[in-house]
Structure 1
Amino acid sequence: MSPVAMSLEELIPANRVKSHIYAILIRTALVMSTLVVGLSIPFFGLVMALIGSLFTMLVTLILPCACYLSLLRGRIDLFQGSICVVIIIIGIVSSVFGTYSALSKIIENLS
């Protein structure tokens, strides 16, 4: 939410008092809109768990190690390469288990 709020706050004129009031109003409106979306969409938490299990492991574990291995191909030793491969495998396994868990709970709540 912070990047969205900061982008909207940049559109406000530079008057200090008004900018603080507008910043508070923008952030409050963003939080309230998130609350409305969360309460109005059924299974919102489960959908967020599904998205999180897919993309969090990808962004935090798999992609950094894969990029590291790709960029430094041939210049890293066997230990560093094997550690990266182990981290990638852990990320894939965690992502599969998290995705399976989230999907099974969504299916369970649908029936």
Structure 2
Amino acid sequence: MLNDISLMRRIIFPLIAVVATLPPAVATDACIADWSDAASIVHQKKLTTVEALSRLAAAELPGAIVKTTLCEEKGSFVYRLVVRDPQGKLTAHTVDARAPFGR
């Protein structure tokens, strides 16, 4: 029993010391969960509105958008879309919030 505790101390304490010295993880992207917050960002940053995005997506993607999330990735805003195709399959798409589908 004493050997087990000694072994744990020799393994765990150095491991904790290494983890404690690692730099904090840097978030490269963040999504806005509340659309009342997202709407003000869309307006302030002059991003494509969800209504316009829906019209563009109808011409570019087969299926219907079932979820839209505004996110910031590497300093730019994007929309993350979940689209249900005519067969019912869900696919994820990410488009630029300023110029979705290159427009």
TM-score by length of 2: 0.28
| Greater helix content | 1
Q: Find the structure with the greater CA-based Rg.
A: 2
| Greater strand content | 2
Ranked by relative contact order (alpha carbons within 8 Å, sequence separation 6 or more), the top structure is 1
TM-score by length of 1: 0.26
